[in-house]
Amino acid sequence: MTIWKTTILLALALGLMFVLAACAGGSAGDPAQTVEKYLQAKVEANEQVIRSLLCSEMEANAFQEINAFTSVTGAHIEGMACQWHEGTDVVTCEGKIVATYGTEETEFPLTAYRVVQEDGEWKWCGETTPPQ
């Protein structure tokens, strides 16, 4: 395993640990679009968009989120489709992030994400478990 792959996997593991922070849910708008925009910004390492979409509880993790894919040769999203579970703070997504390390591709399946409403806007607040 290369140092870059190890670094990325470590960053993703750390990000998953921070998901345990509690986030409250909002009730209006389309949070699925927020999650899709956030994930796209993450693979593009778009610092401005990532910072604008992070919930306040995740702001301390901005560096890890912004740099999650900066050491790869390339990263893109395939087959992304996200859906908000109305009445919850959960958006589930299908698809995957494909990251290229040299000539080797690694896939990261998309999962469920927590969202909150802050200052009238939906914010991404980490990974979570899908609703039952």
What string of DSSP letters covers 5-45? HHHHHHHHHHHHHHTTS------SS-HHHHHHHHHHHHHHT
**What is the predicted pLDDT for the residue at 23?**
37
- Asked if 12 and 68 count as a contact pair (C-beta separation under 8 A), the reply is yes
Alpha-carbon distance of 8 to 82, in angstroms, equals 24
Instruction: Look up residue 82 and give its amino acid.
Output: C
pLDDT values of the chain reduced to their tens digit, one per residue, 132 residues: 555 444 344 344 333 333 323 333 333 469 999 999 999 999 999 999 999 999 999 999 999 999 998 888 899 999 999 999 999 999 999 999 999 998 899 999 999 999 999 999 999 999 999 887
Instruction: Look up residue 110 and give its amino acid.
Output: L
First to last CA, the chain: 36
Domain extent listing, the chain: 3-128
**What is the predicted pLDDT for the residue at 15?**
38
**What is the predicted pLDDT for the residue at 125?**
97
**What is the predicted pLDDT for the residue at 3?**
52
Does the structural domain 3-128 have CATH classification 3.10.450.100? yes
**What is the predicted pLDDT for the residue at 16?**
31
Q: Which residues of 80-112 are buried (b: 16+ CB within 10 A; e: fewer)?
A: bebebeeebbbbbbebbbbbebeeeeeebebbb
